[in-house]
Amino acid sequence: MDTVEVEISRPYRSQKTTALARRFAIIVLVGVIVVAPVVGSVGVASAQEASSSTINVSDATVKEDASTSVDVTMSEAPSGLAGYDIVLGVENNSTATITDAEIAEKFTLSEVNVSDNGTSMTVNLRAVDLEENVQEGATNISLADIDIEGKTAGETNLAVQEIRRVDDDNGTAINVSSNSGQITVEEADDGGGNTTANLDIVPQRNHVTAGDEIKANVVLSEAPRGVAGFNTTVSVNGEEITIAAASAGDEFDLAVTDSDSDTAMIRGVDLNRNVQAGAENVTLATVHLRSGASADGTTEINITNVEVLENDEAATITASTSGATVEVHDVAPVVYDRLPTDADGDGLYEDIDGDGQVTNTDVTVFFEQFNSDAIQGHDEYDFDGNGRVTYNDIVVLSDLAAASG
C-alpha cells in the first residue's frame, strides 16, 4: 500500500497535539485505516484510560416538501475531543431524506458525504478539532446540524448507524453510545390552510377511583381556518365506565347532545367565530365518565364517528382520531368513610384520609392502617414504585407531605 502524506497549514500547537491532529487528519482525509473499524463503541487500549460519552440526535417536526435542521451533539468530552468519524441514517427514506449537513465551526477540518442506497439515506461526518476548541471537561458539544426534507406524512428515526472513530486529545478512543432522534413529517398545507389535524380524546387523568367521575375532552389539535361546526360521536368500550353526560365546548354557541351509557353524540356550531384561524388545541366537546361503584379494570374511550368537521370556509377539516384508556381503581375508604384521592394525578393516592390535602395526618393514617385490607394489595399506595406496599412507602409519603407544606 502506498503511503500518502497530507500537509495541513495551521497555527502553531504543541508537538504532541500537532502530531495527534495530523495522524487523525490523515486517517480521515486519505482513508488509510490502520485499525479495523468497529460499529458502535470503538476499542480502547484499556478500560481505565477510556472515557465514555453519548451522541444525541434531536427530534424534529417538518411539513411535507419542507426542510428543517436536526442537532447532533455529544454529551461530554472528559479529555477533550480531537476528532470524530460517524455515520447517521434515516431509516425510512420515503418519509424523510437527508439533503446536507454542516459540521460545527469549532472543527476546522471536516468532510460531509451524503449517500443514498435507494431505500435509506446516510451521511458520513468526519471532523478534526485542530485548534483544541473542545477543551477537557466540555459538555453538550455541538457536532453538526443535519438538513432534513420531509417527503410523506409519517414518522422515522434519524440514528447513528456507525461510529468509526471518536478520539480524545490524548489519542485514546472514547467509548460512545448514541440516542436516535424521531423525525415527524406532517402533511403539507393544501393551499387553503387545511392541514391534517389530530382529533384526540384527552381524559382529565388516565385513572379514576371506583364510584367517582372524571371528564374527557375531545380536542382538535389545530384549526388553520377556524371551526364552523362539528358533529361527532364518542363511545366507551368496557363495563367499568359509563357515560353520564356530554356537552359541547364553550366556544360553540349552538349545541345539541344525545347520550346514553355507551355513546354520546355531540353537535356544535361556532356562531360568533370564537375559534379563530390558527387556533390550537380546541376543545370541541366534553364527556363526563362515571365509574362503577366496585369496578376495577380498564375502559377504552374512542371517537367512533366524525360526521361533520368544517372550517370557516365551509371546507372539511381532515383529522385523524385517537382514543384513550382509563383505569378504574377499586380502592376503599381507609378512615372516616371518605375515599382516598390522587392529589397530583399520577395514579398514587397520597391523600389517604380523603380530606383533599396531603399532610402528616395521611402519614399517620397510613402507618396505623398499614396492615388493613384497604391498604395491603393496592398498588395505589406503592409510593416508591418497587411493586410492593412496604414501610418505605410510609417514608416516601412523609417526604411528599413535607413538600406539600
Q: What is the pLDDT of residues 69-80, one digit of tens each?
A: 999 999 999 999
Is the pLDDT confidence value at 24 over 50?
no
Is the pLDDT confidence value at 31 over 60?
no
What is the number of other CB atoms lying within 10 angstroms of the CB of residue 14?
Answer: 9
Is the pLDDT confidence value at 212 over 60?
yes
- Mean pLDDT lowest for which of 15-29, 80-94, 130-144, 367-381? 15-29
**Residue 404 banded pLDDT, cuts 50, 70, 90:** confident
Tell me the DSSP string of 192-222. SS---EEEEEEESSSEEETT-EEEEEEEEEE
Q: What percent of the chain has pLDDT over 70?
A: 85
Question: What gap in Å lies between CA 119 and CA 174, rounded to an integer?
Answer: 31
Is the pLDDT confidence value at 3 over 50?
no
Residue-wise pLDDT for 286-308, tens only, equals 999 998 877 878 899 999 999 99
Write down the domain spans for the chain: 15-186, 197-329, 331-405
pLDDT, the chain, mean: 85
Of 378, 352, 356, 377, nearest to 367 (Cα)? 352
Q: Cell 375508604 sits at which residue? A: 333
Question: For residue 378, what pLDDT is reported?
Answer: 85
- Mean pLDDT to the nearest integer, 214-237: 95
**Residue 190 banded pLDDT, cuts 50, 70, 90:** low
- 15-186 carries CATH number 2.60.40.680: yes
Is the pLDDT confidence value at 32 over 50?
no
Question: For residue 17, what pLDDT is reported?
Answer: 43
Of 11, 389, 4, 14, nearest to 171 (Cα)? 14
197-329 shares the fold of 15-186: yes
- Mean pLDDT to the nearest integer, 38-53: 52
**Residue 49 banded pLDDT, cuts 50, 70, 90:** low
Q: What are residue 391's phi and psi, to 5 degrees?
A: -65, -25
Question: What's the whole-model pTM score?
Answer: 0.46
Q: 62: helix, coil or strand? A: strand
Q: For the domain with range 331-405, which CATH number is right: 1.20.5, 3.30.70, 1.10.3470, 1.10.1330?
A: 1.10.1330
Of 145, 135, 157, 76, nearest to 110 (Cα)? 145
Question: What gap in Å lies between CA 194 and CA 199, rounded to an integer?
Answer: 14
Q: Is there a contact between 282 and 245 (Cβ–Cβ < 8 Å)? A: no
**Residue 379 banded pLDDT, cuts 50, 70, 90:** confident
Question: For residue 94, what pLDDT is reported?
Answer: 86
Q: 348 burial class (0-12, 13-18, 19+ CB within 10 angstroms)? A: buried
**Residue 25 banded pLDDT, cuts 50, 70, 90:** very low
- What's the full length of the chain, in residues? 405
Neighbouring residues of 209: CB distance < 8 A, sequence distance ≥ 6: 291, 328, 329, 331, 339, 340, 341, 342, 349
Helix (H) or strand (E) holding 56: strand 52-57
More confident call, 18 vs 100: 100
Q: What is the third-level CATH fold of 197-329?
A: Immunoglobulin-like (2.60.40)
For residue 191 the three cell numbers come to 393551499
More confident call, 183 vs 45: 183
Q: List C-alpha distances in Å: 287 to 63, 131, 217, 347.
A: 32, 62, 6, 21
